[in-house]
Amino acid sequence: MGRYIAPSLLAANFANLQHAVELVNESEADFVHLDIMDGQFVPNISFGMPVIQTVKKIAKKPLDVHLMIVQPERYFEKFKQSGADWLTIHMEACIHLHRALQEIKELGMKAGVALNPHTPVSSLEEIITFADLVLIMSVNPGFGGQEFIGTSYEKIRKTKKLIVSSGSGALIEVDGGIDVNNAGKLFDAGADILVAGTTVFHSPDVLKTIHELKYAGL
């Protein structure tokens, strides 16, 4: 099990995004997480390809791009060209999920599948061996700063059990309501990557907070 941190730029100061990315570069974080929202799949709109292209020029860490959009397969090639290294799509937004994961991988990116809080782990059974990443949403997607959903621990454990039994090797990422108080428990439950936005970028010491998240509970 890894211990990786992916700070989410959704919670950064958009007036000085370069500074936020440079802080992540200097930190012990492992990814830069970008949440893409279209106002349809989720009731919010964030940013698109131009921002990803700009971040890619500055970032020294892989770009972990989470698509909260309908018909994400329309844009796979554009996200690759913009600089995405990992591309995660929602099970709930994809009719042909197996094909979509294959297309992402054929473009040279790592392919992830995200589950909303109401979507059962059992829905992964047929495609788990085709995914490089499973993203467990521990809040309802669309907004930052929400309260962590406590049943997510058991969902992570179930996902880990499925990954092990299938021989998948997929990493488990968790996004939503993560702070230094629950980070250690999430890693213990089986999480590999923790996405943290508000906790990181609203902190008075970003580098220290990332360190504390990464080594929580040790």
Separation of first and last alpha carbons in the chain: 14
CA–CA separation, 82 vs 57, rounded Å? 10
Contacts of 119 (CB under 8 A, 6+ apart): 91, 92
Positive or negative, the Cα torsion across 162, 165, 167, 172? positive
The active-site residue, picked from 30, 132, 175, 192, is 175
Check residue 213 and give left, alpha or beta (phi > 0: left; psi -120 to 50: alpha): alpha
Q: Of 69, 45, 49, 55, whose CA–CA distance to 20 is shortest?
A: 55
Please count the residues of the chain. Answer: 218
The active-site residue, picked from 30, 35, 64, 192, is 35
CA–CA separation, 208 vs 105, rounded Å? 34
Tell me, yes or no, if 64 is annotated catalytic: no
Tell me, yes or no, if 175 is annotated catalytic: yes
Q: Which amino acid is at 80?
A: K
CA-based Rg of the chain, rounded to a whole angstrom? 16
3-state secondary structure of 65: strand
- Give the residue numbers annotated as catalytic, written as ranges: 35, 175
